[in-house]
Structures are given as C-alpha cells and as structure tokens.
Structure 1
C-alpha cells in the first residue's frame, strides 16, 4: 500500500515509518524543510519537503491512504489558540481535501486524549462519545479538528478513523516529558523531584501506537461515510507515581524519587482513563 504520511519526522511518525516499511508498505512522507526524524530510520521514505498548508497534489497521486500524525505544539508551552487552530484544523483539513481530490478514500487521523478536558474526570473510563471540554489552546484545536474530520468523513463518504492517543512514551520522545526526564535522572544517579503523582493515566508504548496505525491501514472495518473514533491506549491505567517507580527500579536508579516536590499544573486533570476496545 502507498501511504501519504504527515508528521513523519515526529515521535510517533518515526516509529510508524519503520513499522510500515517492515510490513511491506511504501511511505511518502511530508516534512518541513530541514527537519529530521527523531530516530534513525531503517529505511528512508520518499520525503516531500514543504509545509502542511502547501499544494501537495502531485505527491498525493497514487497514494491509497492518508495517515495524519502531524500536530502543532503538542507539548507545553502551547502556541496561541489562533495558530493552533490554523495548523491543526485549517491547514490539516486543506490537506485532507487535496487527498480526497487525488482519489484517496481512506483516512487515519491522530487525535489526543486531552480533547476530553474537564469531561474526563466525570468518568471512571471515558467512552469515545464523551463530550469534548478542553480549555487550553492545543487541546481545543485538536477537539475542533476532530469535529471537522468526522464531518468531512460523513460528507465525503470516505473511510475515516480518528484515533485519540493516550499517554504515549518511549524512544524519541521530547526530552522535557516525563519518561525521558526520568531516564536521564535515573541513569545519571540524580534525584528526581516530581508532583505527588496521584494522576491516573493510561500509558502506552510508542511502538504500540505505531502498530495501531499500521494495523488500521486497510480501513476495512470502517463503512464509507460512517467515520469511527477509537482510543489508542494500553487498557492498564495506573497512577503516575506507580509508573515512575516502575521505571525508576527498571533503570536501577541510585537517586531518589521525590513525590510532592513539584506542584500540579494549573487545571491538572487528575483522572484521564479511557474505555478501550
């Protein structure tokens, strides 16, 4: 299968390229000029240099599925709401329309668990049809993108899956996030100050997230014009402190974890746990 991929130089995208190639697929990957993959790739895709909002009509020809992993400022500090809405909604939908005009009828779109926002804490396990109540720029833009893509799927009669990704971690992750920060401190023999860690999350390895998208490529489970939403999660929720302690032991850390040394973020969602199929 010939795939048109966005976000190919990103954290999840780098793993997706390797797994897609290993499965025998061909990957055409859009990247910003000068950007490089987070990880060394076993095989390079056909790179297309350009911005998300450019004209990619020629590169889309012959592709069978659009895998949209690109996302604008997915990690704090988030960009302004205006810029998040432009790149995550306007530019993304523009590309999807180009893909549809090029004959692509299968769409796999990455969403975010943070789209649920305040609604998350009303559920022991969040259903895929829970209301979206984000309050910060990036999650707001991803929620708006979800609404737009689901509408496009219905209106255009294409096969479209929106996959909301939960707490992904692993090789290639941004250095300031929890798992890489823990590893750096553990291997350096340093103490690690952190929040009290009572947040409930569903942590999923990045390899499993990439595998989810590779396994969904045929879209055979989706009826045309009837888009679906899926959760990409492990199904094993745990407290953040338990996750940290597991990896601290795994790396044989000699320093100390110091829970409670860092305050929770303003508006911290304390329970973000999905229903999984």
Structure 2
C-alpha cells in the first residue's frame, strides 16, 4: 500500500476517447471527482454527471484547486498512418511534458502515463539488430515520453507510474485496430486475410483496462512500468479462433506474411500489476467479444 491512499480528485487527458471515457466512469463510480481535458469539440460526448467537469486541452481553469492523480491518456496518431508521422509523435512527447508540468501546477502527487506494448516490440527488434521502420515512430515516441516524464517527475517529487497497454477492445471502440478490422470484414460476410497467427498476443476488455489504471492511481509503485493485460498470453490464432466461435466469422490464416517481432510470454507478464495493486481480469475474452459484436449489430457505430 502506498502512503497516498484513495484519491479525491483526478485529471484525465484524452478522457473523451475510447479508454478515457471508461476510465472516467470507473473513477466516478469510486466517488473520485474527475476533470476531463480534451479537444473542445469533444466536450459534448461526456455525460452530465455529478463530480465530472471539462477543460479544453489548453487548460483554462483554476490552477489553485488541488488534485491528486493525473492520468495522461491523450495521444494523437496511435493507429493508422499517424504511427509513422515522426513530427506528430514528437509533438506527443512535448504534450506529455506539458501535461506533467500541469500536474505539478495542480498539486498532483501522482502522474499515470499510458504506454504501449508496441514499445516492447521495438525494443525486441533493436536487440535482434533490426533497424527501426516508419511505423516505429509511435512506439519510440511513447518510450521517450515515458522516460522523460519519469525523469522530470522524480525531479519534481511526483510519483510516476506507467501502464503499458497490450491490446484493449470493447464496446464503444471505433478504430482500424485488429479486432475492429476483422469484425468489419465479418459483418460484410468476408474472410479477412491474416498472418499464420503464431505471434504471442494478449487482449483485455476495456472495463478491465480502466480498472487497472484506477488501481495504479491508488497503489502503483513510483517508477514502475506495469503490463496491462489479461495475464494469459497465447498465439494470436487462438484468440481469433475464439472470436470466430462467438461471431461466426472466418479468417484466412497464413494469407499474409508476418514481418514483425514475436514477443515472449514474459513480455506480457502482469504479475507485478496484480501483486502491487490487487488487479485481476474480470471479463473473459469471449464475453467481451460477444458484447462488442452485439453492440455493433445494434448499429451503434
């Protein structure tokens, strides 16, 4: 248990995003007041709830009001072509440091940074002697932002905790990431081309991911990087076959080559997160897939 205890007030950047909205709900359910900061036009996506308010991404509120935990989820270009935009990713690094400076101004004792499992993929590629490629800009920027903010947080006396997200999915997601891509194809009656699926993967339903972040805000250890996942990694083909059983979809395994780095089970190890915060996965993968598939079938996209 950390000496900080349960927070009373939190800030969430990117709180109008897929994971951000669920984290905000999770914190409110724990009776933690939340200020969301995001693009001004996204304010309308937030519900009107007691304990919830909004600030544009350029903070215009009272900096005299003190907060406890600052969750930095906002990140442009996390999928698609934006991942290879080096200038965009460099701007994300700058905005991370600005977020930390705001956390300091607001009196936050804790800064939670959202990392990515893709950082581990780039690290593994570097160890294998492979040169970075354009799409690595995203992961490289995440690593740089995490390291720089951790160093500054130490200098400023702020607890810094990183959550390295594996693959989050669930109701509310509108993206071109893997689960959404294959479901797009299945809804059209198509058989999407896939790799052989031998690479190690892990998936976590979005409500569990939000609970993990909330737990880190209360009990995460300063300076640590936690893996946020189910803790039960397995080859991608196994995950997708389970999703196909739920949805009735089909996939053409081995149709396209896998050109990345396959991570090991150790890269997906969630034991430290579980031991330090008490987190455990509650939503089985098949149940989560069923929820998302049903939501899509209802025409919620």
Q: Normalising by the residue count of structure 1, what TM-score does the alignment of the two structures yield?
A: 0.82
Comparing both structures, which one devotes a greater share of its residues to strand? 1
Higher mean displacement: 185-194 or 174-183: 185-194
Determine helix, strand or coil for the equivalent of 1:108: strand
Cα deviation, 1:229-273, whole Å, max 9, x if unaligned, reads 2111211111111111101111233xx321122343xx5122253
Cα deviation, 1:159-188, whole Å, max 9, x if unaligned, reads 221111112222223332211223333344
CA distance in 1, matches of 2:132, 2:270: 21
> What is the Cα deviation at residue 143 of structure 1?
0.7
Match of 1:270 in 2: 262
Q: Normalising by the residue count of structure 2, what TM-score does the alignment of the two structures yield?
A: 0.76
Is 1:252 matched with 2:244?
no
Match of 1:148 in 2: 148
Match of 2:295 in 1: none
CA distance in 2, matches of 1:236, 1:37: 37
Answer whether contact 1:182 1:248 (CA < 8 A) is retained.
Answer: no
> What is the Cα deviation at residue 55 of structure 1?
4.2
Is 1:90 matched with 2:94?
yes
Answer whether contact 2:12 2:35 (CA < 8 A) is retained.
Answer: yes
Is 1:119 matched with 2:117?
no
Answer whether contact 2:37 2:59 (CA < 8 A) is retained.
Answer: no
Equivalent residues in 2 for 1:65-80, closer than 5 Å: 65-77=69-81, 78-80=83-85
CA distance in 2, matches of 1:101, 1:190: 52
> What is the Cα deviation at residue 47 of structure 1?
1.5
> What is the Cα deviation at residue 157 of structure 1?
1.6
Cα deviation, 1:108-151, whole Å, max 9, x if unaligned, reads 1111111123433699xxxxxxxxx9652111110101111210
Answer whether contact 1:68 1:108 (CA < 8 A) is retained.
Answer: yes
Comparing both structures, which one devotes a greater share of its residues to helix? 2
CA distance in 1, matches of 2:64, 2:86: 29
The runs of 5 or more residues in structure 1 that have no matched partner are 124-132
Is 1:261 matched with 2:255?
yes
The runs of 5 or more residues in structure 2 that have no matched partner are 1-7, 272-301
> What is the Cα deviation at residue 42 of structure 1?
8.3
